[in-house]
Amino acid sequence: MSRVGKQPIVVPDKVKATVGTGAISVQGPKGSLEHGVPAGIKVALDEAGKCIVVTRVSDAKPHRQLHGLTRTLIANMIVGVTEGYKKELELHGIGYSVSLGPKSLTVELGLANTLSLPVPEGVTVEIPQATNPGRIVVTGADKCAVGEFAARIRALRPPEPYLGKGFRYAGETIRRKAGKAFAGVGT
């Protein structure tokens, strides 16, 4: 039995969970999310609606693999609709800038053209200019959507090891390399 999968998921009072045929939906103060349940996995809600239990049909390898994963995804949905998820990124580099449009994020990274990323549904992007002009905060109820959009932003210009320029997650440390010590030794 999966150590993660066998643990019941406690549903807070302000969250409403509904188990349907092949899907589970969760509604809370931060929004509503829905996730499909894979074949071979059963999701049950107890009578009082305070606990969700995930079980598997057999001990076949695909069912064992999906058991803990499904339980974790449902738990992430409950945390997302109650507290939400947040990723912070920092932009380092002279001449690099970020601005926020109505439904897109515009980034200038020293290229010939400015780059524009459309902000997906359910994800909110903020640029707190007062604290740090190169800081971007991505928030939302869906952990996958928040993480994926933050990764797409970071992939535009990952931090390089010599000068440290580019996007990095807040608190991320970049292993720096020493440049050339001297050019032209012996000439």
The CATH number given to whatever domain includes residue 37 is: 3.90.930.12
56 in the same domain as 89: no
> How far apart are the C-alpha atoms of 88 and 150, rounded to whole Å?
8
pLDDT at 163: 87
For residue 160, CA distances in Å to 91, 151, 163 come to: 12, 16, 7
Do residues 55 and 66 lie in contact, with contact meaning Cβ atoms separated by under 8 Å?
no
The maximal CA–CA distance of the chain, rounded, in angstroms, is 84
pLDDT at 1: 59
145 in the same domain as 103: yes
pTM of the full predicted structure? 0.87
Residues 6 or more apart from 20 whose CB is under 8 A from it? Answer: none
Q: List the chain residues with pLDDT less than 70.
A: 1, 130-133, 182-187
pLDDT at 5: 85
Residue 174 lies in a domain: no
Q: What are phi and psi of 52, to 5 degrees?
A: -115, 135
Q: How many CB atoms lie within 10 A of CB 130?
A: 6
23 in the same domain as 89: no
Q: Which residue, 82, 100, 135, sits at the end of a domain?
A: 82
pLDDT at 178: 85
Q: What is the span of the domain harbouring residue 141?
A: 85-169
132 in the same domain as 91: yes
Do residues 153 and 167 lie in contact, with contact meaning Cβ atoms separated by under 8 Å?
yes
pLDDT at 93: 87
Residue 4 lies in a domain: no
Tokens of 125: 């992007």
23 in the same domain as 93: no
Q: Which residues partner with 87 through β-bridges?
A: 138
SS3 74: helix
66 in the same domain as 53: yes
162 in the same domain as 96: yes
